[in-house]
Chain A
Amino acid sequence: MSRELLEGSAAIAESAIAAGCRFFAGYPMSPFTGLLENMSQRLPAAGGVCINAESEIEGVNMTLGAAAAGFRAATGSCGQGIALMQEAIAEAALNETPFVVFNMARSQQDYFQCTRGGGWGDYRTITLAPADVPEAVEHTQLAFHLADKHRAPVIVYGDPLIAQTRVGVSIGRRDFGPVPAKDWALDGSTSGTGRSKQVWTWAMGKATEPGPGPDKHWRAIADKFDAIEPLEQRHEQEHCADAETLVVAFGSAGKFVAYVVDELRAEGHKVGWFRPVTLWPFPGPALEAAAASARRVLVFELNAGQMVDDVRLNVPDRRRVQRIGGVSISESGLTYGELMDAPIIRQRILEAVR
């Protein structure tokens, strides 16, 4: 299949449409704006609906409505806007409405927000963290698949490098296998039959047919996420078998670390890299195995230390874990600062190895 030179925002939009997304609503905020504009131009031509919502809260709730009606739907923003959507993401996790949230983040400071979530209740959010545009194209379609497979909202964690870099990519429909039919979707057809449907976080059912109620329902939701956890972990790694130093990074930082570690390996350093692809569920068992021989586990993330918590939770002997990243933002406040650079990463790894 031939390739098109597309910036990530455009590639993701095309990929979402290829996945069957037919509803999108969002509010402009850099670097998510490109995705909103691309959807606004491309989705109607594909027979879908794109709304430039008047606020992030309205956007995510429109998306929730479209998804509850049975359609593949998405929204997005950057972390500061996703903050406003926490209530609705949690709601969707608890009332089992599947949709995709594109966090085209400004930095890596959104890890806690994605994996711990700021909405109410016992829920988790599957989060995919692509390292570059081609992987973002893949993850976009995977996200819709996982959302439908598990009837839950899914986050794709992008960033300015993914949004704005243009790469030759081919966008075809990926087939991840069957998903359950949406017999729960609201379409009005069962209204008046005595078997009308509800999408309700409290799941109390009807007077004629009581539902499980909040206690049983929320326990079932918690059980559902417990079952998802071992099932959907994804990661990539290289040079770990005999590594004395393991470097862990996610997203674009993972791509930079892989590049640097490959270089260091070629120079004879016993270094390996590990990149969680799902931030939740975090690939803990795989990390533990990859770190088996390492004397030190270096965590490189552009924030004050977020993923490092998950690394410490999964690596026996937490004293091996060190942070070599940090907050790093450009002067504009809208993208990465100087730390997202191979020479600096190389220097930090070598300093830690000494």
Chain B
Amino acid sequence: MERELIVSGIGGQGIQLLAKTLALAATREGRYAMLSADYGGEMRGGPSKASVVVGDEPLRALPVLPSAWSAILAHHRFSESIVDRIRPGGPVVVNSKLVDTSVLRADLVVHPVDAGAIAVEVASAQAVGFVLLGAYNEVTHMVSNEALVAAMTELLPPYRRQHAPANARALAAGAAALAGVA
């Protein structure tokens, strides 16, 4: 069974890192994973999109997903084309202060999370991606929480190691925000 996730936001929200964290966590658990990225040249503010596919067998998925089972929307900008590709009934974790959920299709299962506020409370504004990832994994159980934390730590370059505890708190707080929902 393959599961696809499309993540969309703007540069600076940690979109690429959260997608990579999930893909690495799945790989470390011995499963098959694929990660595609699509972003422009700007460091902040431009479109940032990524897709992750996880499965228990060699993946059939294409590097440009025709459709996806689930999504994380971190920002309303650049999100329209993503929403069109989410299959009906799929879980969509939404950064509630930056995405107007009323414009989303009625057949999507939307899980709003005020990721920005949670990030600032337990870590910092930069951790918003990990809040969304923690929330997503709580709803979908794609990988174990331990695998997420381990992957997050592994991906930190040496000069950012000091952020590991804060990122872990962000992952946990995101999960807590959607606890009991799935």
Interface, chain A (partner B; CB < 8 A): 2-5, 132, 134, 161, 164-168, 252, 255-256, 259, 340-343
Q: Chain B residues near A255 (CB, 8 Å)?
A: 62
CB within 8 Å for A166 and B20 given contacts A4-B27, A5-B27, A5-B33 = yes
CB within 8 Å for A166 and B35 given contacts A2-B30, A5-B27, A341-B66 = yes
Q: Name the distance in Å between B114's Cβ and chain A's nearest Cβ.
A: 30
Pick the residue among A5, A132, A168, A343 that contacts B63 (CB under 8 A). Answer: A132
CB within 8 Å for A161 and B30 given contacts A5-B23, A5-B24, A134-B58 = no
Q: Chain B residues near A343 (CB, 8 Å)?
A: 66
Q: Name the distance in Å between B88's Cβ and chain A's nearest Cβ.
A: 16
A-B contacts, 21 of them at CB < 8 A, read A4-B27, A5-B20, A5-B27, A132-B63, A134-B58, A164-B37, A165-B35, A166-B20, A166-B23, A166-B34, A167-B33, A167-B35, A168-B23, A168-B26, A168-B31, A168-B34, A252-B63, A255-B62, A256-B64, A259-B60, A340-B64
Q: Name the distance in Å between A159's Cβ and chain B's nearest Cβ.
A: 10
Q: Name the distance in Å between A135's Cβ and chain B's nearest Cβ.
A: 11
What are the interface flags for B74-86 relative to A under an 8 Å C-beta threshold, 1 for contact and 0 otherwise?
A: 0000000000000
Separation of A259 and B23 alpha carbons in the complex (Å) = 22
Separation of A265 and B59 alpha carbons in the complex (Å) = 19
Interface, chain B (partner A; CB < 8 A): 20, 23-24, 26-27, 30-37, 58-60, 62-64, 66
Pick the residue among B24, B26, B32, B64 that contacts A161 (CB under 8 A). Answer: B64
Separation of A3 and B56 alpha carbons in the complex (Å) = 13
Q: Chain A residues near B26 (CB, 8 Å)?
A: 168
Q: Chain B residues near A132 (CB, 8 Å)?
A: 63
Q: Chain B residues near A5 (CB, 8 Å)?
A: 20, 23-24, 27, 33, 35
